[in-house]
Structure 1
Amino acid sequence: MVNDVRERAAEVAEQVRDPEMPMLTLADLGVLRDVDVEDGVVVASITPTYTGCPAMATMRDDLVHRLNGAGFPRVEVRVVLDPPWSSDWISERGRAALHDAGLSAPGPAPQCGPVGLNLGPTRRAPACPRCGSTATRLTSEFSATACKALYRCTDCLEPFEHVKEI
């Protein structure tokens, strides 16, 4: 019985969309870590894409609202910080959805461990999601959200957002 409730709750939670990139579900983005049932309470665990992500409250509220609306009256959302989220957790379906929406998906995330302090610009070579060219130029390190950078393709001249590797 608990497994049936958990599975139904997980199906609902897995359909909740990211408030900043609505072409992705929280599951495809990799921030939805787990859905469980504890003493009759549906517990959804999420991990922020980065510390201080302003979308976390909306993610929490959206999960609670959707689960309540699906007949789960008692819902708790837990924030899990360890291990920290990685852009490698974005599913293949999520990467395809980013591309289809005109965003460049992140490449492999940097390796974990000690990170040398580098105050220079971050070097990336994202492909243009419109024409596929790698002749791109950084316009702004920050775009509509802190987790995206703004680029311009020097072949087709179209601007595009790139989801940063984290």
Structure 2
Amino acid sequence: MRPGELIASDRGARPLQANDLEQAWAVLGEVMDPEVPVVSVVDLGIVRGLDWQDGHLHVVVTPTYSGCPATEVIEQDIADALQQAGFAAPQLERRLTPAWTTDWISDSGRERLRTYGIAPPAGSTSKRSLLGEHDQVCCPQCGSAHTERLSEFGSTACKALYRCIECREPFDYFKCI
């Protein structure tokens, strides 16, 4: 490196501007989950925080679970969207603790899941299921609570396969994690 050259991570560094964080949240609200393309990474609660560090946007991301195959894709989508919005070299931090929970899904995200045909998590991540208690899973098609679990695993590991007894439609249920 020659005198006067910038270190690669310093390229594009600038002071925080008044609406930068608000704009970044708005951009991230448009970054959709690749497995459920109607719910954003903000609505899922994957984006844990934004701040400004050393002249760059710093984004804290917690994957839905540590083995999620979409983690790298989501992080790249976040970085790409922020760069396209004018945030040079955003810094992403993957934070695994505390672990992500379905309790972090926004009300808007839960409604979008339901509209898309996926039953949102019922209840919370309480450990009642260890005592044999199960939350009532309603059909996202007709709203009936008369449903049955067909398989603990659905189209992805974070979903279970259910069927509505009333309308007979199968559907995914986003499990409480």
Fold shared, TM-score > 0.5 on shorter chain: yes
Say if 1:17 and 1:23, in contact at 8 Å, map to a contact too. yes
Correspondence for 2:138: 127
Please tell me the residue identity of whatever aligns with 2:98: P
Correspondence for 2:153: 142
Deviation at 1:161, TM superposition (A): 0.6
**Are 1:29 and 2:16 counterparts?**
no
- SS of the residue 2:163 aligns to: strand
* Alignment deviations for residues 1-54 of structure 1 (CA, whole Å, 9 cap, x no partner): 614322222221232111111110011011111111211221111111112111
- SS of the residue 1:152 aligns to: strand
Q: Which moved more, 1:8-17 or 1:82-91?
A: 8-17
- SS of the residue 1:28 aligns to: coil
Correspondence for 1:92: 107
What stretches of structure 1 of length at least 5 have no aligned partner? Answer: none
Which residue of 76, 93, 102 corresponds with 1:78? Answer: 93
Structure number with bigger Rg: 2
**Are 1:151 and 2:151 counterparts?**
no
CA RMSD in angstroms comes to 2.1
In 1, Cα distance between the equivalents of 2:97 and 2:42?
17
Identity of aligned residues (%): 40
In 1, Cα distance between the equivalents of 2:84 and 2:96?
27
Say if 1:87 and 1:108, in contact at 8 Å, map to a contact too. no
- Report matched runs for 1:43-122 at 5 Å: 43-111=58-126
Correspondence for 1:163: 174
What stretches of structure 2 of length at least 5 have no aligned partner? Answer: 1-14
Correspondence for 2:11: none
**Are 1:12 and 2:23 counterparts?**
no
- SS of the residue 1:62 aligns to: helix
TM-score between the two structures when normalised by the length of structure 2: 0.83
Deviation at 1:80, TM superposition (A): 1.3
Deviation at 1:55, TM superposition (A): 1.1
Say if 2:119 and 2:174, in contact at 8 Å, map to a contact too. yes
- SS of the residue 2:43 aligns to: helix
For these two proteins, the number of residue pairs brought into alignment is: 161
Say if 1:49 and 1:86, in contact at 8 Å, map to a contact too. yes
